[in-house]
Amino acid sequence: MFSKVLLCYDGTAEGRRALRQGADVVITMKCEAHLLAICSNLVTTAIPEGVTPELVRCEDDRAQALLDEGVQWLKDRGVHATGSLEYGSASERISEVAARIGADLVVLGHKQRTRLARWWSESEESSLLDRITCSVLVATAPEP
């Protein structure tokens, strides 16, 4: 049914849950996987005086090491897996990578937000569902 699955990870508990569920799908269906690690841009979230080349390199190295570990974990289970580290808006990066690799399924996590949180974060940006043309599996089950 699916031949190439994009597994999205942003470092959150919901993202880890999505990775576990997505890995189950990929392993069971014996399809290709692309692990996408999404980081917010460190330079835009840190105070300018606190951003040093060493800090940026350290964060990049840590994120890349976690990504490499995830790709290797999938490969060790017989999955043809690749990965990429992207920075910026999750919906933009996910839609761009999904199109670039020809994904027919995107797996990601979701955290319920309160009404106030949704109100504060509303924007005019299109949603991820408006940006992609493939199926989406959203991991929402609570942790056991």
Query: Would you kindly state where each structural domain of the chain is located, as residue ranges?
Result: 4-139
- Residue 40 · residue 46 · CB < 8 Å: no
> pLDDT value at position 10?
76
pTM comes to: 0.78
Token pair belonging to 104: 């027919």
117 has a pLDDT exceeding 80:
no
Q: Which H or E element spans position 83?
A: strand 81-87
133: pLDDT strictly greater than 80:
yes
Superfamily of chain region 4-139: HUPs (3.40.50.620)
| Nearest-angstrom CA–CA distance, 81 and 137 | 18
